[in-house]
Amino acid sequence: MVLWLILIAFIVLLVILVVVSFKVRRPDQLLLIEKHGKIQPYLKRWYVSKSVLALPATMKTISTEVKTQAQGKIGVVIKLSVSFYPDPHRAENLVRIGGWTSEAVDKVAEELSGTVQGLVGELVETLEITQVSREKLAQLLREHLGELAHNFGVTVTSVVVSEAEAADKKIADAIRQQEEAHIQEATEKANQQSRIATEKLKLKADDEIAHLKHQMEMEHLKLKEIEELKAAELERKLLEKETEKKRLSLELEKEEVELLSKHPELIMLTPQLTRLVEASQQLKSARTIVTFSPEIYNGLPKILQSLLEAIQPAKTAQKD
């Protein structure tokens, strides 16, 4: 019975030791372990607290105020904040500065704050008082802290300079007024450049519109010229047809003249034939019989032959 009690007590003690020694890694923790003399991240879910160092992996921000001097021994007050987080890939640097303790990140933050203060002092001393501005100083700090922070085993995510001005209020007000004047001048230059650019665009648009109008006018003139050429061509063809018609009429008259010159008796016959035709058209009951010999009929002009051929069927139809 005693053995069973001892066994149960041993098991309970072992369970307590396991529960106390083994812990579960949280997502916001950075676990470090030493293997073969090197410190490296521990990535397993369960770990033993005695052999693994658990550090907070969340973002940490340090805020500080630096009083230094710019060129000319002019006092300057700088207020800034730096945000960082532990870098798993540089854990050895982190432990070397912060130690193998759960407060290593806080110690690194203190050391980094002192380094930032010294760096700000060095940077401001190289600048004139008119060059000390939040934007310029923040840019310089980002450039230097990007590599410097790796020596502390952390990664800097942001640098914010909330204040950077002369300690003397009169000097600070003068610089502020100068900066405002500079901003107004820059704004006016920007507005002037904008107006010039707008005017240039307007002139360019007007030139393009004028060019397009000129092209349209040229196209209109070309179309009008084509229409005039077509009209002239049509008129020329009409004149040619009229000339051809007159030529044919002249040739016909010439043939008639030649025929009359060859057969003078037709000169006397033509008026009589005309009167007979007129009489036959006016008197429906009149009967006119005109007989031509083949020689005379063939010698008549084609117009008279056509007229006689037209009259003869009409007379024959009335008779029937």
Q: What is the pLDDT of residues 186-210, one digit of tens each?
A: 888 888 898 899 889 998 998 999 8
Asked if residue 226 belongs to a domain, the reply is: no
Name 127's Cβ contacts closer than 8 Å, sequence gap at least 6. 70, 71, 136
pLDDT tens sequence across 4-33? 667 666 666 655 555 555 677 778 788 888
Asked if residue 18 belongs to a domain, the reply is: no
Asked if residue 22 belongs to a domain, the reply is: no
**End residue of a domain, out of 149, 167, 185:** 167
pLDDT at 319 exceeding the cut of 50? no
The reported pTM is 0.50
Asked if residue 188 belongs to a domain, the reply is: no
Please give the pLDDT value at position 80: 92
Please tell me the least confidently modeled range out of 21-25, 35-39, 165-169, 193-197. 21-25
Please give the pLDDT value at position 3: 65
Q: How many structural domains compose the chain?
A: 2
219 against 315, higher pLDDT: 219
**End residue of a domain, out of 109, 133, 167:** 167
Region 172-192: mean pLDDT is 79
- Sign of the torsion formed by the C-alpha atoms of 202, 203, 206 and 212: negative
Asked if residue 290 belongs to a domain, the reply is: yes
pLDDT tens sequence across 289-308? 555 555 555 555 555 555 55
**End residue of a domain, out of 150, 167, 184:** 167
Asked if residue 82 belongs to a domain, the reply is: yes
* Distance of alpha carbon 204 from alpha carbon 201, whole angstroms: 5
**Segments forming the whole domain that contains residue 276:** 263-319
Please give the pLDDT value at position 320: 47
CATH code, domain carrying 95: 3.30.479.30
pLDDT at 81 exceeding the cut of 90? yes
Asked if residue 185 belongs to a domain, the reply is: no
Asked if residue 68 belongs to a domain, the reply is: yes
Residue type, 253: E
> Which of these, 96, 133, 7, 109, lies nearest to 56 by C-alpha position?
109
